[in-house]
Amino acid sequence: MRPLSPEPGEADLAERYAYPPDGTWLRANMVASLDGAAQRDGRSGGLGNAADRHLFLLLRGLADVVIIGAQTVRAEGYGPVKPSEGWDGVREGRTPVPPIAIVSRSLDLDFEAPIFTEAEVPTMVLATASADPARLAAAREHADVIIAGKDSLDFAVAVRELAKRGHRRLLCEGGPSVLGQLVAAGLLDELCLTLSPMLLGGNPTRILDAPPVPVPLELKLAHALQDEEFLFLRYTRSR
């Protein structure tokens, strides 16, 4: 073992979290307490601090598209992505903000909500061919719909279709069920994990809410940063 010695000065986060220059890369950004809880009072935001919020916004700026499960959109009260301080130069040659891509099999979505009506770049919906035809028609009126799978969502197809639209730098913000499916499909390239210095107890949801993965995904530590008592861990896979 060796000590984690902080480097002098502030880290260049845009450089530290830069995507690989080529190919499609799927990153997830999650937060967890010391005892593994992914939520506090039903929301992930209750676990973070100001630095976590800053990194959350920066990772959005670096991404081409932000993938979110419909349940997380409802629980966290998601709105559209908006430009943020600290984005200087990170979106050069791209849209002002990345679109949000909502994962929804049932299409139980409020298409009059700000995430659709106030988005600078049209919100996307990742859906299945077996979705209710009326809901699918409504989705197509208010969003850019990608059909990825028949009865269940095929995330490999979704990633390919997003890449065809020029979205190769992917950011998943959860929730735990969506992240679990991405890991099970072998699609996750990187996990950014904020470790919050809290012990919550109970039986909370973890960052992965899914059946056991038959072959565990092993990641390597790319870096570890510290702010106050929070740790910001970045793990990547080898390809």
Q: What is the pLDDT of residues 157-199, one digit of tens each?
A: 999 999 999 999 999 998 999 999 999 999 999 999 999 999 9
Residue 12 maps to a domain = no
The predicted pLDDT at position 162 comes to 98
Q: What is the pLDDT of residues 96-137, one digit of tens each?
A: 999 999 999 999 999 999 999 999 999 999 999 999 999 999
The predicted pLDDT at position 44 comes to 66
Amino acid at 141: E
pLDDT at 6 over 70: no
* Residue of 215 and 117 predicted with greater confidence: 117
Residue 228 maps to a domain = yes
Q: What is the pLDDT of residues 26-80, one digit of tens each?
A: 999 999 999 999 988 767 668 889 999 999 999 999 999 999 999 999 988 899 9
Residue range of the domain that includes 225: 23-237
The predicted pLDDT at position 187 comes to 97
Nearest Cα to Cα of residue 89 among 169, 15, 168 = 15
Residue 162 maps to a domain = yes
Residue 15 maps to a domain = no
- Rounded to whole angstroms, the Cα distance separating 230 from 193 reads 10
The predicted pLDDT at position 81 comes to 96
Quick one: average pLDDT of 213-230? Answer: 92
The predicted pLDDT at position 11 comes to 85
- Rounded to whole angstroms, the Cα distance separating 221 from 235 reads 5
What CATH number did the domain enclosing 164 receive? 3.40.430.10
Residue 13 maps to a domain = no
Give the sign of the dihedral formed by CA 130, CA 131, CA 132, CA 133: negative
- Rounded to whole angstroms, the Cα distance separating 209 from 183 reads 11
Quick one: average pLDDT of 193-221? Answer: 91
The predicted pLDDT at position 184 comes to 93
Task: Specify the DSSP element, H or E, that contains 29.
Answer: strand 25-33
Residue 11 maps to a domain = no
Burial of 37 (0-12, 13-18, 19+ CB in 10 A): buried
- Structure pTM? 0.94
Residue 7 maps to a domain = no
The predicted pLDDT at position 199 comes to 94
Burial of 148 (0-12, 13-18, 19+ CB in 10 A): buried
- Rounded to whole angstroms, the Cα distance separating 125 from 93 reads 24
The predicted pLDDT at position 239 comes to 61
The predicted pLDDT at position 5 comes to 65
The predicted pLDDT at position 10 comes to 83
Number of domains in the chain: 1
Residue 107 maps to a domain = yes
